[in-house]
Structure 1
Amino acid sequence: MKFIRKEFENDQTAYVDAYILDGEISYQITRQRPALIICPGGGYLMRATKEKEAVAMEFLSKGYHCFVLNYTTYFNERMTSLDRIPPVNPNGYFPNQILELMETMHWIHTNAKEWNIDNKNIFVSGFSAGGHLAAFLSNHWNDSTYTKLLPFSVKENELRPRGVILGYPMLCTDTVDYLQKHCGDDELIKHQSEYISDCLYQNKQPSFEMLKKLDNLEAINENTTPTFIWTTREDAIVDPKNALTYIHRLMELNIDCELHMYSHGPHGLALATKEYAKNKNEIDENIHSWVHLAQEWMDRQTLKG
């Protein structure tokens, strides 16, 4: 396996960690493999550790080249207390994050032959805010509003993922209201919601029109890519009902989709295994089944060619 770190010119805090599998699978026999870009969550304020390398290791073992996108965040360090607000990253505002994801897609296509990547089967996964980012690419991969901002000429369809895998995704713009109502007495999380709004809209109290522009439920169209979603009914950070609405709209357009709604479990479980769990409540073999289900779904997409 080859490891490469690619940094972005616009912000050196953002980078891609690439895990490239060996092309030779047996003596003088090489194989092109599919690729998976992984976008961790963190409310666009930081990047969740358990949704990065851990996920990459899981899918590397299943034959996917993996690319962990450490996109630009609003803060350069984690906010841990209301007594100290970290400095704001001047480059940490949307749409820089979607441009970095698009540039990652372009980078993979550019090196696909050398790395033995099947460039017709590049998938993108995202968790929570990373799910918003992955879904945004799924809906806006050919949107000139963003592609015209890129530092390269886009080739036909190179920014289009083969499919997206979304874990407890932040799909629409009622996230702040839902979070305030359901996250209990966690004042730190409640206070962070205003920074999420500032990151996305450059406004801590965005208007309805501002919210609509970044709402993935509004953005679904006939060119939206196939989508796999998993979430939990008990999620107190992101409204799980939005996943149902998202899938329903995909079905209306006859876009391939799959949804798994687990009956219990908090937000942010990632793999739900003991290796990355903070406590026993974050270990759940049933929820870990999403990995196998997602792999089967991606394999079916790949077979479609």
Structure 2
Amino acid sequence: MRTFTVDLNPERDVTLEATLYDAPSPEEQPTPLEHPRPAVIICPGGGYQFLSQREADPVAAEFLAKGFDTFVLRYSIREHAKGANPAIDAARSVRWVRAHAAELGVDPQRVAFLGFSAGGHVTGMIGTSWQSEDLLAAERDEYDRLVAAGVESNSGLLEFSSRPDAIVPCYAVFSMDWPDDSSREWLTFGDCLANVTDQVPPTFLWTTNEDAVVPPTQSLRFATALAEAGVPFEYHHFDRGEHGLSTSTPVANADRASLPENADAWIDLCADWLRATWTGR
């Protein structure tokens, strides 16, 4: 197993934490393990104020067990979560994984982007706005500045696509039209519902009916928009479960006395759906 952290933007403390299977041994050919592997970039939630521990490491562990290489994106939060910043972070993480796919052992055509709550909003933004010329211009300006400042991780990234091969928004925010928070500065690409087109990658999304923090109608409205745009998707609406379930397993919920009986099924469902969606790639 290999683990390391890439500094993507020190100005905003944006990093990408990689946990990868070892590269194939030259002495053992062909490798008995899948190579190259599918990858998943994980975006924890936290209301753009913090990054939830329960939605980072436990999720990576589950997808590692399913044969995915994993990357936890620690994106812009608090005073840095404004304008295009989180969308730039998401786009850059996809480009970086593709740019380094060969050395990572990752299949560059099987890169999923997965996020929870506010991280699900970041997921929705990259899924609906990856092709935006305004986002590309904002990326180019930031990369040029960081490369000039000696941040080598951004060099040459624009040669690679920022479009994920699938997105997985989990009990996500897709539009800020429901909270009464007029003081919050809107994110440039924040209205994911309005930005849905047929260019959105295949999508797996889920939520719960008992979520009292992000209305489950957010996911339902996004699924409806995907259907109207002709985007392939799979949608799971679990009856029970409060906000922030992450994997809905005890390892991610030690602070909760009980868990819903079946919401943890989303992990197997999602991994199977991703592999089926990418069959033949």
Bucket of the pairwise TM-score, normalised by the shorter protein: 0.7 to 0.9
Residue of structure 1 in register with 2:94 after alignment: 105
- Given that residues 91 and 163 in structure 2 are in contact (C-alpha distance below 8 angstroms), is that contact kept between their aligned partners in structure 1? no
Please say if 1:49 is aligned against 2:38: no
Is 2:96–2:157's contact at 8 Å kept on the other side of the alignment? no
Normalised to the residue count of structure 2, the TM-score between the two structures is 0.87
Conserved? CA contact 1:233–1:265, under 8 Å: yes
Q: For residues 36 and 221 of structure 1, do their structure 2 counterparts lie closer, same or farther at Cα, with a shift above 3 Å needed?
A: same
* Structure 2: tracts of 5 or more residues without a match: 144-155
**Structure 1 vs Structure 2 CA RMSD:** 1.9
Aligned to 2:149: none
Q: What corresponds to 1:226 in structure 2?
A: 202
Deviations 1:166-196 (A, max 9, x none): 110001112414xxxxxxxxxxxxxxx567x
Change in CA separation of 1:99 and 1:234 when aligned onto 2, cut-off 3 Å: same
Match among 140, 143, 146 for residue 129 of structure 2: 140
Letter in 1 for 2:211: D
1:240 aligns with 2:213: no
Aligned to 2:232: 256
Indicate whether 1:9 and 2:9 are aligned. yes
Contact 1:175 1:238 in 2 (8 A): no
Following TM superposition, by how much is the alpha carbon of 1:7 offset from its aligned partner in structure 2, in angstroms? 1.2
State the Cα distance separating 1:284 from its structure 2 match: 3.1
Contact 2:84–2:138 (8 Å) recurs in 1? no
Q: Which residue of 1 aligns with 2:256?
A: 279
Counterpart residue identity of residue 58, structure 1: E
Letter paired with 2:168: I
Misfit runs of 4+, over 4 Å: none
Partner of 1:29: 30
Alpha-carbon separation, structure 1, partners of 2:5 and 2:157: 23
Contact 1:236 1:266 (8 Å CA) reproduced: yes
Q: For 1:36-76, what per-residue CA distance to the aligned partner results, in whole angstroms no more than 9, with x for missing partners?
A: 000010111111110001100110111111000011210xx
Q: Is the 8 A contact 2:207 2:236 kept in 1?
A: yes
Alpha-carbon deviation of 1:285? 4.2
- CA apart distance, 1:146: 0.9
TM-score by length of 1: 0.80
Tell me the distance in 2 between the aligned counterparts of 1:119 and 1:170: 27
> For the Cα contact (< 8 Å) 1:123–1:163, is it kept in 2?
yes
Count of matched residue pairs = 261
